[in-house]
Amino acid sequence: MNEKVQNFIGKIKWLGHSSFKIADTKTVYIDPWKLPDGEGSDGDLILVTHDHYDHCSPPDIKKALGSGGKVLAAECCRAKYPKADVFTLPWMKQKLNDINVYVTAAYNINKKFHPKELGHVGYVIELDGVKIYHAGDCDAFPHMTDISCDIALLPVSGTYVMSPLEAVDACEMLKPQLAIPIHWGDADVVGTRDDAERFAKLAPCEVVILEAAR
């Protein structure tokens, strides 16, 4: 990976499961859930991928928001979190608080939990010239070849999302400089460190396994 991506790793905080805080000149939270003490009240932008409880958590969204912060959520979240500033569908470009966001699709290919027609999403944000892709809950789907990113945050737990081997397929299509396994390590949801380590062993790019900050 290049130096800019290497230096950016320290700006990415994994808050457990699929929840992230990315702090650069702007602070972005993605799918905040079970936010630990000491986190929150500083989010310039909150991104919500879909309406499942472990991704769309209204109390955690409220906790994450900073003064003037905005919420961008998938259209399917409207009933669960009606206060979002913008609701989005896949394959749209959005800009909130001067942060450019490319909204991708996120769906299952060979599972029933995240059907394409529900409009679940992933997000690509660009901060300091680095593109970070949070895939949301999905399998490796064909249009990943159209997604450009430097860092890919990919689920690896299987059952509801990609297995480690399927995440390897996603990397083959995305061609990121760095991948970070997500959707593992929470006692309430499937996914273990073994899943993350298996993905790291097989992935065609560099992989960093983060420690959860909770």
Q: What pLDDT, on a 0 to 100 scale, did the predictor assign at position 214?
A: 79
CATH architecture of 3-207: 4-Layer Sandwich (3.60)
Question: Which structure tokens are listed for 199?
Answer: 């993905």
> Cα–Cα distance between 115 and 181 in angstroms, integer?
22
pLDDT tens figures, 33-54: 999 999 999 999 999 999 999 9
CA proximity to 28, closest of 77, 91, 96:
96
pLDDT tens figures, 141-152: 999 999 999 999
> Cα–Cα distance between 66 and 40 in angstroms, integer?
7
What residues contact residue 140 under an 8 Å CB cut-off, 6+ apart? 109, 162, 166, 167, 169, 170, 173
Confidence of residue 105 (pLDDT cuts 50, 70, 90): very high
Phi, psi of 38 (to 5 degrees): 95, -10
Which of the 8 DSSP states describes residue 144? Answer: G
Confidence of residue 95 (pLDDT cuts 50, 70, 90): very high
pLDDT tens figures, 5-16: 999 999 999 999
> Cα–Cα distance between 153 and 176 in angstroms, integer?
10
Q: What pLDDT, on a 0 to 100 scale, did the predictor assign at position 13?
A: 98
Per-residue pLDDT averaged across 77-87, rounded? 98
Which sequence spans correspond to the domains of the chain?
3-207
Q: What pLDDT, on a 0 to 100 scale, did the predictor assign at position 86?
A: 98
Question: Which structure tokens are listed for 107?
Answer: 């769906």
Mean pLDDT of the chain: 97
pTM of the model: 0.98
DSSP 33-83: -SPPTT--S-EEEEEE--SSTTT--HHHHHHHEEEEEEEEEEGGGTTT-TT
pLDDT tens figures, 159-176: 999 999 999 999 999 999
% of the chain beyond a pLDDT of 90: 99
